[in-house]
Amino acid sequence: MRPDMRQGPEIWIRGPVPVPEAASPPPPVPAPDGTRRFSWVGAHGGAGTTTLAEVYGGQDRGRRWPGPGELASVLLVARTHATGLAAAGRALEAMNSRNSMTAMNAMNAPRALVLVADAPGRLPRPLAQRVRLLEASVDVHRVPWVPAWRLGDLTGAPPRGTESLARLTGAGR
């Protein structure tokens, strides 16, 4: 080939192909003393991970599961509407269907499911039945409708009825 001609990428490689080194995982996010290390992961968009992270602490992961070296204790979050409960069920099934005995799944398995009310009042019977099915497979914590949160006021204490979630996350009352 003439030296003044541009060369394209080689398409034929002889011999073994070197495997690129995997990027080292990012170091774990340090937690301040006295706080628990956990991540909020949404089963669907709009589940409430940002609000819960603001009120209870922890890391808001959106819909991204933690990778190696990141905060591995997961609190899966879903709304109590039909779509949210179905998404939570699918996420839990996906975790159970992937060789549940592997160390990676044990690390990233949800520690609990947090169901955030999608409206004030009691759940309709079909949705309450779905919640009972989810409760059979994982610890479920319920967060009631909080009108102040809808207006953006996250300054108060965690709502009444969420004491077990506050204990789990280490959020002070």
pLDDT digits 0-9 by tens, 64-90? 887 776 656 889 999 999 999 999 999
Per the listing, tokens 């495997």 go with 19
Q: Where are the domains of the chain?
A: 39-169
Reported as type and span, the H/E element at residue 73 is none
Distance of CA 148 to the CA centre of its chain: 24
Q: Output the pTM of the full model.
A: 0.74
Residues 35-58: b if buried by 16+ CB within 10 A, e if exposed: eebbbbbbbbeebbbebbbebbbb
> What's the pLDDT score for residue 41?
93
Residues in the chain with pLDDT < 70? 1-36, 69-72, 98-109, 172-173
